[in-house]
Amino acid sequence: MTANATRQSVEELRSTLREIGVARFEGRIEAGIIDRAKGEAVVDAFIAEQRSRPWVSRVVNFVLDAEESYR
């Protein structure tokens, strides 16, 4: 199955992650169903995208020096 998983394209993994969510995706990585290296790279990219702050949050932080949440 690991060989099959290795063949999965990053795009497929990204689609799976959006469909099932981070918790189930991590569960499948830990179980060896999803290739660990590729899977974790996809999760990292997804989280980096999620961390980006909306413009309101940036403006508030810059002008009023009041952090709403994480960077």
> By the 8 A CB rule, do 46 and 17 touch?
yes
CB of 11 to another protein, least distance (A): 18
Query: Binding to another protein (CB under 8 A): which residues in 5-44?
Result: 20-24, 26-28, 30-31, 33, 43-44
Please pick, from the candidates 8, 14, 38, 53, the single residue that binds another protein as defined by CB under 8 A: 53
Q: What DSSP letter does each residue of 24-70 carry, written as one string? A: HHHHHHHTTSS-HHHHHHHHHHHHHHHHSPPHHHHHHHHHH----S-
Q: Of the two residues 1 and 10, which places its CB atom closer to another protein in the complex?
A: 1
